[in-house]
Chain A
Amino acid sequence: MKKYAKPRVIGSSNVH
């Protein structure tokens, strides 16, 4: 069994 971490969005940045 793998250690669990909450699903989440990490970091957002403009492509340009």
Chain B
Amino acid sequence: MVTVNGEQQDTAGKTVSDLLSEMKLMPERTAVMIGGEILPKTEYERILADGDEVDIIGFVGGG
């Protein structure tokens, strides 16, 4: 199981890109952290593994 934004999900084996697509998030509007460390955009094809703790921030407009 992978923890995504605090919730357990059966997403092990999928890439970060896959996960973003499922969540309907555009990569250029997101920040992804795994285990509290930022994941560079060049590593979005990384395959998620059991035990990964993923935080996905999808930014919205306005400021």
Is chain B a partner of chain A in the same complex?
Answer: no
Residues on A close to B: CB < 8 A? none
Residues on B close to A: CB < 8 A? none
